[in-house]
A and B are shown apart, each in its own frame.
Chain A
């Protein structure tokens, strides 16, 4: 009350709709604090991105190839920043989501097939999130048949009942779990000079395993659904053109975090599992990477991480997928609508959750494989999403003075070309080798 009286008249502050309010939902006075503690769409997106599929892919990369794939993280980071910046810029300039823009600019046919592909890919991604929950539960000795339905129900109710923000905060805190990998990496005493060398000197193999892992790594770090997600949340936060710089800082910080986590997981797994000659094929094997930190409790720690990451991403992914499909098809979407108003939205949501959770309940499902291959599916879909994004962000009518520049276009097109080549190679090479052998 006292504070409200104090504002009478003389105490006036410029910048009414400060980015701080948008980012925190409450005012933060210290401008420095904003930069230190930005929690915007960028940071949230990259934390959703570090999902069980991501942890698995990084673990496999580290355990199979040691430090060999580390160098890839540099280009991935640059591409991730470039791609997300395009989404944020499109969100700020047009005030529209990605599916919306695709529909308006490429018509219904292209949009339909792309969204159909996204839907299928995201059902696999959802499966991968729930696999994470199941694998985590089993490591903790809990039956997945009990945990999974409960988890699906709990997240669904929490999100549909409008406490999304609360859920978001809880899981963001839980994502501090990734610090465990940083500590574990240090305790595992990796050969830092080798790490440094591997991080800059490219290493390349033409084996299909290697190429598929490359696609998986790119696909999990620059997942197609992330681009839809970050654009939608930027639109929702109503970031203004003048605040584009803040948004860019936010997404850059987020991208660095995502890639740093990826790097430390690979280093940890390389220094522990790869050295011990374990090529990860189960969750309990992947958990051994945390032994330097947690010793006998490595499994519990890893289980907790998988569970939290799976719940968070598994809660958001079906919802955002249903939302984007509806947005593109012109159906009412969003939890603000009743079932009668947005039937397609709720049916899609339920369908994605069901299709994502039910197969996991089948006994002896290879959970880790599901998580891994869903990320490869991401990598295959990504070039198509990127091509559409490039056309949109390069459209002068749409973007005005904020249209894509030359440098940016070059990096983005390079990402597309490399991904397409890698995808094609991973399918063609095994055939060629089969012919030769």
Chain B
């Protein structure tokens, strides 16, 4: 019998459902599925599922000798009971878990549907090299590609994503899924991950969020507008919600809680640590469309008369806990928190260490009142090119509006997507 070698490149849909033959060219069943072993490299085919009548069994790939047309030829064991392998927990079934399913495309940063799986053969091992996601692969599976390609002026080139760039959302083993998905997705920027999650079906979204840690989930939620944030909360396990809210930036968390009903926000606040809850409640007192509503309480204020050197020394310890956009502008206040002046980190670094801070500070920094309209306050940030605008209540410094929050107010929604916010 003539045995042709396995082609260098072929599609999963080429061989699925085709007869599987033995050495004497007798049909032993139909090919139902192909299992691959997930490792650090392109996953190699390890087993195939063959259906004989009503029974389905797994056959090791090592017994596949070659291909005849689109049929696989397997060597039947001489001994009946020789082997009947099970599926390993790190094995992925290409038909059941990948084909026609949704996957995350890390390069394109979006959710894609797998129209076909591309297999490549190198030295006896057949590996998954990528997935086809374009319309051409849809047409090929429908058997229409050949005809359409013959039409004049029609160019149909498939879109292919290499395997290394995709993350499957479905695994045979939920444990493996948890680790692999979380590990690979957490390398994405939260802004991209947020966009990807909003494209997913609700079920997949919940499963992905379940597999990420609280900090990451909090960062992702911050990427959304308050109304959408509230919706994202619903994708999270109820028990986890307070933990996640506790990890969010207070101003974002406060805005989000204000969108929720009184009962819902009260329930979340009740589960938070007392300090966090109190801080959020203070922020929530301000109307969402006022300067107080978009400010954050995370800022650095120095008291007392100190030298530049002393100030830098103190800042070294305090800035580590603060988000980037809160770290550049340093405010000077009296013990009652009345604003006396402002100085930037740059001012401090270029000054002589023995200079007094009061001598180099700006005595009349631009500021807003808590009750001011938030758009007015945001415009101040833009007009004076500020990174942070101090917000006062009866002359006391109560918070700052950072440039990213000001941009959120000023930019129309569509623009915001082109200017993803920095990770905190």
Please name 18 further chain A to chain B contacts, defined as beta carbons within 8 Å, in addition to the given A4-B258, A27-B264, A100-B201, sorted by A numbering.
A7-B265, A9-B270, A16-B241, A17-B234, A21-B261, A27-B261, A27-B262, A27-B263, A96-B201, A104-B100, A107-B100, A108-B138, A108-B141, A109-B142, A330-B114, A330-B115, A330-B138, A332-B110
- Measured in the bound complex, the distance between the Cα atoms of B371 and A1 in whole Å is 14
Give which listed residue, A16, A95, A100, contacts B263 with CB less than 8 A: A16
Nearest CB in chain A to that of B267: its residue: A16
Q: Are B270 and A4 in contact (CB under 8 A)?
A: no
Nearest CB in chain B to that of A94: its residue: B203
User: B156: shortest Cβ distance to chain A, in Å?
Assistant: 15
9 closest residue pairs by CB, A with B:
A95-B203, A330-B113, A27-B261, A7-B266, A95-B202, A13-B263, A12-B270, A96-B201, A16-B267
User: B417: shortest Cβ distance to chain A, in Å?
Assistant: 9
With most chain A CB atoms within 10 A of its CB, the pick from B133, B269, B414 is B269
| Residues of chain A within 8 A of B281, CB atoms compared | 4, 8
> CB of B407 within 8 A of chain A?
no
| Residues of chain B within 8 A of A26, CB atoms compared | 261
| Residues of chain A within 8 A of B263, CB atoms compared | 13, 16, 18, 27
> CB of B99 within 8 A of chain A?
yes
User: B64: shortest Cβ distance to chain A, in Å?
Assistant: 23
Q: Are B133 and A4 in contact (CB under 8 A)?
A: no
Q: Are A5 and B201 in contact (CB under 8 A)?
A: no
**Chain B 224-258, CB within 8 Å of chain A: the 1/0 string?**
00000001011100100100000000000000001
29 A–B pairs (Cβ distance < 8 Å), ordered by A: A3-B262, A4-B285, A12-B266, A13-B267, A16-B241, A16-B264, A16-B267, A16-B268, A17-B233, A17-B234, A17-B264, A21-B264, A27-B262, A94-B201, A95-B205, A96-B204, A100-B201, A104-B100, A107-B100, A109-B142, A235-B202, A236-B202, A238-B231, A330-B102, A330-B115, A330-B133, A330-B138, A336-B198, A338-B414
Nearest CB in chain B to that of A105: its residue: B100
- Measured in the bound complex, the distance between the Cα atoms of B258 and A163 in whole Å is 21
Q: Are B241 and A7 in contact (CB under 8 A)?
A: no
Q: Are A332 and B199 in contact (CB under 8 A)?
A: yes
Given contacts A108-B115, A238-B235, contact A4 B262 (CB under 8 A): yes
> CB of A132 within 8 A of chain B?
no
> CB of B340 within 8 A of chain A?
no
> CB of A11 within 8 A of chain B?
yes
- Measured in the bound complex, the distance between the Cα atoms of B285 and A336 in whole Å is 32
With most chain B CB atoms within 10 A of its CB, the pick from A95, A332, A338 is A95
Q: Are B201 and A238 in contact (CB under 8 A)?
A: no
| Residues of chain A within 8 A of B266, CB atoms compared | 7, 11-13
| Residues of chain A within 8 A of B21, CB atoms compared | none
- Measured in the bound complex, the distance between the Cα atoms of B202 and A338 in whole Å is 21
Question: For chain A residues 1-52, which have a beta carbon within 8 Å of chain B?
Answer: 1, 3-9, 11-14, 16-18, 21, 26-27
> CB of B27 within 8 A of chain A?
no
| Residues of chain B within 8 A of A177, CB atoms compared | none
> CB of A384 within 8 A of chain B?
no
- Measured in the bound complex, the distance between the Cα atoms of B231 and A21 in whole Å is 11
Q: Are A109 and B267 in contact (CB under 8 A)?
A: no
> CB of B307 within 8 A of chain A?
no
> CB of A329 within 8 A of chain B?
yes
A-B contact count (CB 8 A): 94
> CB of A103 within 8 A of chain B?
yes
User: A193: shortest Cβ distance to chain B, in Å?
Assistant: 50
> CB of B101 within 8 A of chain A?
yes
- Measured in the bound complex, the distance between the Cα atoms of B238 and A17 in whole Å is 8
| Residues of chain B within 8 A of A96, CB atoms compared | 201-204
Given contacts A4-B284, A27-B261, A330-B115, contact A107 B99 (CB under 8 A): yes
| Residues of chain B within 8 A of A9, CB atoms compared | 270
| Residues of chain A within 8 A of B220, CB atoms compared | none
Q: Are A109 and B284 in contact (CB under 8 A)?
A: no
> CB of B119 within 8 A of chain A?
no
- Measured in the bound complex, the distance between the Cα atoms of B99 and A397 in whole Å is 17
| Residues of chain A within 8 A of B110, CB atoms compared | 332
> CB of B206 within 8 A of chain A?
yes
| Residues of chain B within 8 A of A14, CB atoms compared | 267
User: B414: shortest Cβ distance to chain A, in Å?
Assistant: 7
Given contacts A17-B238, A104-B100, contact A95 B138 (CB under 8 A): no
| Residues of chain B within 8 A of A12, CB atoms compared | 266-267, 270
**Chain A 94-125, CB within 8 Å of chain B: the 1/0 string?**
11110010011001110010000000000000
> CB of B112 within 8 A of chain A?
yes
Q: Are A108 and B206 in contact (CB under 8 A)?
A: no
**Chain B 255-295, CB within 8 Å of chain A: the 1/0 string?**
00010011111111110000000000100110000000000
Q: Are A95 and B201 in contact (CB under 8 A)?
A: yes
| Residues of chain B within 8 A of A95, CB atoms compared | 201-206
| Residues of chain B within 8 A of A94, CB atoms compared | 201, 203
Nearest CB in chain A to that of B266: its residue: A7
Nearest CB in chain B to that of A91: its residue: B202
Question: For chain B residues 173-222, which have a beta carbon within 8 Å of chain A?
Answer: 198-199, 201-206
- Measured in the bound complex, the distance between the Cα atoms of B115 and A94 in whole Å is 21
User: A332: shortest Cβ distance to chain B, in Å?
Assistant: 7
Nearest CB in chain A to that of B241: its residue: A16
Give which listed residue, A5, A103, A112, A330, contacts B112 with CB less than 8 A: A330
Nearest CB in chain A to that of B261: its residue: A27
| Residues of chain A within 8 A of B202, CB atoms compared | 95-96, 235-236, 238
| Residues of chain A within 8 A of B100, CB atoms compared | 103-104, 107-108
- Measured in the bound complex, the distance between the Cα atoms of B414 and A134 in whole Å is 36
| Residues of chain B within 8 A of A112, CB atoms compared | 138, 142
| Residues of chain B within 8 A of A103, CB atoms compared | 100, 113
Given contacts A27-B261, A95-B201, contact A238 B267 (CB under 8 A): no
| Residues of chain A within 8 A of B270, CB atoms compared | 9, 12
User: B363: shortest Cβ distance to chain A, in Å?
Assistant: 35
User: B311: shortest Cβ distance to chain A, in Å?
Assistant: 37
| Residues of chain B within 8 A of A18, CB atoms compared | 263-264
User: B268: shortest Cβ distance to chain A, in Å?
Assistant: 7
- Measured in the bound complex, the distance between the Cα atoms of B281 and A238 in whole Å is 28
Give which listed residue, A4, A21, A238, A329, contacts B138 with CB less than 8 A: A329
**Chain B 104-131, CB within 8 Å of chain A: the 1/0 string?**
0000001011110000000000000000
